[in-house]
Structure formats: structure tokens, C-alpha cells
């Protein structure tokens, strides 16, 4: 397994160190700068623009974070740049812009967003963009297909599976019961071979995760840590937390 010590050495700022009340919006340059100032590792999300650029943006749709409406993947990179984000003068970054901004100063943990349709293009783009990056960076995804793609496209980059156990939130209704069971029990492991796990904090401890950790010495990150109870769970059961809403 490829699990360097930097993966768990520092708390990880979820979507960088954002605080909307102060005009610091998730996944933006200002949030990245705030995390850098504190020395935290940074977790961000990327998805592809309509013209194939990796954009640092979480949502499938534009309404929550921007003044526009509609599906986020329908925008070109230039249109992403031209679209105002709510509550800030920042604009959406490309992955290369993020890499240039961080410049190896703290670890980056980059989540590959997925439509769960078998399309692996975002993994391909991330592998290309990271090929010349000298700083510490890892890729992870909820989608085992994307984790498997990273395994083959960029085997030197640490790869993680982001997961829950029950997948009982309505956002997972598109998954069959069999898929939920397989993912929650890491049955994809022979093909994905993750170097680390990022697990939902409210479902720890997890027997399948504990077994994988014992068998393969996999580091465990846990998300999203927001409360004192979450922090206590993370301290008991995980190697590091992915946090938001406070400064550890």
C-alpha cells in the first residue's frame, strides 16, 4: 500500500478552511489560503467542465453556491470562471490553479466527483494535471470505478475510497441494495486496492473498515467532523479527521 505519513499528519480542512459568515466560501482561493495560513491539509472536490477541465467545485448543480442555475457540468471552464460565487469575489479554480496556489506547502486530498455512470474522464484529467506536481497529493472518490481508474492511471498517487456503511441517505437512492452492501463492506477491494479509507464519522466504528485496517494497515480518515462528539469518535476510531466549522 502507498500510504505516506503525511496523509494523517495534520487535520484536513473539508473543502478547505471555509466560513461563509466571513465571506470565505468552500473550495475557493480564500478558503485555501486560510487553510495554508493554519498549516492544515486541504480536502477539495473536482469535477469536469463541459470542455474537460478539472474544476474545484462540489455540487452537481449551480444554485447553492453561485448566482446561476442549472447543471454544473454543462459549463465550460471559461463559463465557470465567469459565474459569480455567492458571498465572495472569488472565482472557481481549475485543478492546475489550485496546485500552483498550494505549491506543495500542505497535503492535498482531492475528491473525484462522479455521476456513477462508468465515465472515468475525471480520473484521467486529474492524473494528467498531477503528473508534474511535486507536492503531497492524494485522490479519493465514493465511486469504486474511479478509484480503480486511479490505480491504473497513476499508481504512484495515493488513492482512497470515500465511503459510508448503510448508504441510507436519499442521495444514494440510485444505488441498488446489492451495490450498497458491496460498497459498505468494501467488496470492491480486489480491484480498487485503496491506500486509505475516508469513512463517514457517524457510522464509526465499522466492522468492515476495522477488518481492512487490521489486514492491510490502511490509514483511516473520517468525515465530516463538526462537533465535539464527532471529534471524540475520530480520536477513538480514526487516524485523522476531515473537519469543518471550527479551527482545531
- Residue 198: the pLDDT is 99
Question: Does some domain include residue 248?
Answer: no
Question: Does some domain include residue 79?
Answer: yes
Is-contact 174 142, C-beta < 8 A? no
Q: Which residues of the chain have pLDDT under 50?
A: none
pLDDT by residue (tens digit) across 178-214?
A: 999 999 999 999 999 999 999 999 999 999 999 999 9
Question: Does some domain include residue 71?
Answer: yes
Question: Does some domain include residue 224?
Answer: yes
- Residue 2: the pLDDT is 86
- Residue 1: the pLDDT is 75
- Residue 157: the pLDDT is 98
**CATH classification of the domain holding 183:** 3.20.20.190
Question: Does some domain include residue 1?
Answer: no
Question: Does some domain include residue 115?
Answer: yes
Is-contact 68 52, C-beta < 8 A? no
Residue 220, strand partner residues: 197
Question: Does some domain include residue 112?
Answer: yes
What is the residue range of 97's domain?
A: 6-243
Total of domains in the chain? 1
Question: Does some domain include residue 201?
Answer: yes
pLDDT by residue (tens digit) across 38-66?
A: 999 999 999 999 999 999 999 999 999 99
Amino acid at each position: 500500500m502507498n500510504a505516506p505519513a503525511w496523509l494523517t499528519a495534520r487535520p484536513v480542512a473539508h473543502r478547505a478552511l471555509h466560513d461563509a459568515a466571513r465571506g470565505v466560501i468552500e473550495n475557493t482561493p480564500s478558503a485555501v489560503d486560510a487553510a495554508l495560513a493554519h498549516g492544515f491539509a486541504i480536502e477539495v472536490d473536482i469535477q469536469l467542465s463541459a470542455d474537460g477541465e478539472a474544476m474545484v467545485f462540489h455540487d452537481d448543480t449551480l444554485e447553492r453556491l453561485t448566482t446561476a442555475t442549472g447543471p454544473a457540468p454543462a459549463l465550460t471552464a471559461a463559463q465557470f470562471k465567469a459565474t459569480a460565487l455567492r458571498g465572495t469575489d472569488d472565482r472557481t479554480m481549475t485543478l492546475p490553479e489550485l496546485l500552483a496556489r498550494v505549491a506543495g506547502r500542505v497535503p492535498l486530498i482531492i475528491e473525484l466527483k462522479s455521476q456513477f455512470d462508468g465515465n472515468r474522464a475525471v480520473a484521467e484529467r486529474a492524473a494528467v494535471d498531477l503528473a508534474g506536481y511535486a507536492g503531497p497529493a492524494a485522490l479519493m472518490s465514493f465511486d469504486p470505478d474511479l478509484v480503480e481508474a486511479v490505480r491504473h492511471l497513476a499508481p504512484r498517487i495515493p488513492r482512497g475510497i470515500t465511503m459510508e456503511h448503510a448508504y441510507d441517505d436519499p442521495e444514494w437512492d440510485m444505488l441498488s441494495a446489492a451495490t450498497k452492501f458491496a460498497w459498505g463492506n468494501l467488496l470492491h477491494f480486489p480491484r480498487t486496492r485503496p491506500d486509505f479509507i475516508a469513512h463517514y464519522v457517524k457510522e464509526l466504528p465499522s466492522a468492515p473498515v476495522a477488518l481492512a485496517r487490521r489486514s492491510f494497515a490502511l490509514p483511516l480518515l473520517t468525515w465530516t467532523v463538526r462537533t465535539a462528539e464527532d471529534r471524540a469518535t475520530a480520536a477513538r476510531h480514526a487516524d485523522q479527521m476531515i473537519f469543518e466549522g471550527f479551527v482545531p
